[in-house]
Amino acid sequence: MADSLENIFIILINSEFIIGILGNGFITLVNCIDWIKMQKISLADRILTALALSRIGLILVMMVSWFTKESYPFSSLDIKRNKVILFSIAGLLANHFSVWFATGLSLFYFLKIANFSNAVFLHLKFRIGMVVMVIFLGTLVLLPLSLTLVSIYIDIKIHQFERNMTLNSKKSDTETISKLIILTVESLLPFTISLSCFLLLMFSLVKHIKKMRSHATGFRDSSCKAHVRAMIMVISFLILLAIHFLSHLMTAFYHNVMQSKLAFMLAEALGTIYPSVHSFVLILGNDKLRKASLLVLWQLRCG
């Protein structure tokens, strides 16, 4: 029974890797072709393309890490040391840019679609490109802190290997705490910003519906549809980011709590959902990408 479940998880994880590469690769390809044809690219497409590329990088890091764990579970000390350094730093960078590009997209939808008469909001609304750029540059300030925390985590892991994999509870607890701090630093602020964008979009939609009802013109207009679509995009990112965070929590407590390979594989499968499934949410929520995907499916069906 356990072997069957392990095989199912292996197939599921590998399928998620393939789906993620195809989905994010499709977004990148469509936007790059459109950029070459039109000789220009919109801010939304730039963010989407950067997000897709960062997700491809994140999936590749997760894929190589997964395959090395499965293919070479018993490695020499030097190989384990190099793997910890490589995957920790590469994973941090890929995840950092992936999360913040998605947060920038949420902020873009909020400023582009929401309607408020506040002077500060209007000032930001007419300078969306600058706001998004400042957010991206501001995230680079957090990167040294995250890299410092990762270096501490790497030192703990390497020291663990040098002690011939003999973990005492204090060292295992230190490793878990360091990983939780990294997760919190990397996820809390972008989650808070995206959640604020979602709540403000909801508030803007409620105001718009009340206004339409007071004028007796109905409330299923293009603005309502834009609000709903943007809210779906933002809330899907929040849900998937929460699942991704949960998967990291499970792996952080793997040595202390779970002690089960099936539970570890479940955590890996949950973690891969975030960069893989979100790409298809982005495709369905974007008119150009959705039409391009339907055209590809129609050509495949005819072919």
Q: Where are the domains of the chain?
A: 1-302
The answer to whether 98 and 275 are in contact (CB under 8 A) is yes
Going residue by residue through the chain (303 aa), what tens digit of pLDDT does each one get?
556 777 787 888 888 899 999 999 999 999 999 999 988 899 999 999 999 999 999 999 888 887 776 555 545 555 566 777 777 888 889 999 999 999 999 999 999 999 888 888 888 888 898 998 888 888 888 888 888 888 877 777 767 665 655 444 444 566 667 777 777 878 888 999 999 999 999 999 988 888 877 765 555 678 888 889 999 999 999 999 999 888 877 776 665 555 567 777 788 888 888 888 899 999 998 889 999 999 988 888 886
Q: What's the confidence (pLDDT) of residue 170? A: 44
Rounded Cα distance between 262 and 242, Å, is 21
Counting beta carbons within 10 angstroms of the beta carbon of residue 91, is it exposed (0 to 12), middle (13 to 18) or buried (19 or more)? middle
> Quick one: CA torsion of 287, 292, 296, 299, rounded to 10 degrees?
100
Q: What's the confidence (pLDDT) of residue 173? A: 60
Q: What's the confidence (pLDDT) of residue 221? A: 73
Would you say the C-alpha torsion 263, 269, 275, 280 has a positive or negative sign?
Answer: negative
Q: What's the confidence (pLDDT) of residue 169? A: 44
CA nearest 92: which of 151, 164, 169?
A: 151
Largest CA distance in the chain: 74
Q: What's the confidence (pLDDT) of residue 167? A: 45
CATH of span 1-302: 1.20.1070.10
Q: What's the confidence (pLDDT) of residue 245? A: 85
Q: What's the confidence (pLDDT) of residue 156? A: 72
Q: What's the confidence (pLDDT) of residue 239? A: 93
